[in-house]
Amino acid sequence: DANIYLFVRVARLGTRYVLLLAEDRTESYRLDEVRRDFVANISHELKTPIGAVGLLAEALVSASDEPDQVKRFAKRLTKESHRLARITQEIIELSRLQSADGLAEAALVDIDNVVSIAIDQNRAVAEFNKVTLASGGLTGFEVFGDETLLVLALDNLISNAVQYSPENTRVGIGVRHRDGAIEVSVTDQGVGIPDDELDRVFERFYRSDPARSRHTGGSGLGLSIAKHVVQNHGGDIRVWSQLGHGSTFTIRLPEIDPDVTNATGDKQ
C-alpha cells in the first residue's frame, strides 16, 4: 500500500521560525507489520494440525476396541504430525533466511550437481504420482553460493511442480546462460496459477485456490523460502503460468565474475 509513516518533531526557533523535522519511519513500521502478520499466520497455520492431533488422539482412545478404526485414526495422526513437523521446520528455515543478509558460507557451486540432487530428492514422489522428471544434459555452469540452500530452493520448485501436476505429464528442468545470469527453470504441465494470483504465490503462507482445493497439505512457505534463498544469492525468481496448462518457475543467479575468481585464484 502507499501509506507513508512520518515521525515529525516541531521546534520553535525564536518568534519567527518553526523547525520541522520529519523522519520517514515507513520501513520500520512496515517491518513491524510484517512481523505481526507472520506471527498471526504461524499461529493460524499451526492451530489446525494441532487441533487435529488432539481430536485424533481422543478418537483413538475411544476406539480402542475396534482395530480397524484404531488403524485409521493412527494413520491420520501420523500424517498430521508429519505435517506439523514440516511446517515447523519450514518456519525455522524461513526465519533463518530472513534474518541473514547474504550468505554465511559461499563457495563455487556446480549447478549440474544442484539439479541432480534436487531431482533425486523428488524422484520417488514423482514416480508415485506418475509424473516424469526430465532434465537436459550437463552444462558445466558454476555460481557462487551455498549448495545446500540452492538445492533447497530448487527442491521446493520441483516438488511443487510434481504436486500440482496430473498423472502422465512431464516436469522439465533446464539450465541455461542468459543475459549475464545462470537460469534454472522448472516447467510443468499442471494445474497452473490464475493471473491475478501470480504475484502472491511468493508470499508466506499463500496458497492459490486450485492448490487449496487439491488438499495437498502444503504450508504455503515453499516458494517464500525459495525466493529468500535466491535473493540472498543476489538473484531473482520469476513465474510464468497459464491456468489449466502449466507453469514455469525460473531462478536467475548472477554469473561468476571471471576477474574476481581469477584474482582470488579460486577458479582455473
CA angle 129, 131, 136 (to 5 degrees): 150
The grid coordinates listed for 165 are 501436476
H helix or E strand, kind and range, residue 209: helix 209-213
Q: Which is nearer to ligand ADP, 106 or 243 (CB)?
A: 243
| Interface residues toward ligand ADP, by CB under 6 A | 156, 160-161, 164, 188, 190-193, 201, 206-208, 211, 218-224, 247
Strand pairing report for 131-135 and 169-178 = parallel
Q: Which is nearer to ligand ADP, 73 or 122 (CB)?
A: 122
Residue 184: beta bridge partners? 175, 251
Q: Closest approach of Cβ 212 to ligand ADP, in Å?
A: 7
Question: 156 near 125, Cβ under 8 Å?
Answer: no
Q: Closest approach of Cβ 224 to ligand ADP, in Å?
A: 6
Q: Which is nearer to ligand ADP, 161 or 182 (CB)?
A: 161
| Gap between the terminal Cα atoms of the chain | 49
The grid coordinates listed for 43 are 499461529
Q: Closest approach of Cβ 247 to ligand ADP, in Å?
A: 4
Q: Which is nearer to ligand ADP, 25 or 245 (CB)?
A: 245
Q: Closest approach of Cβ 71 to ligand ADP, in Å?
A: 28
Q: Which residue is nearest to ligand ADP (CB)?
A: 218
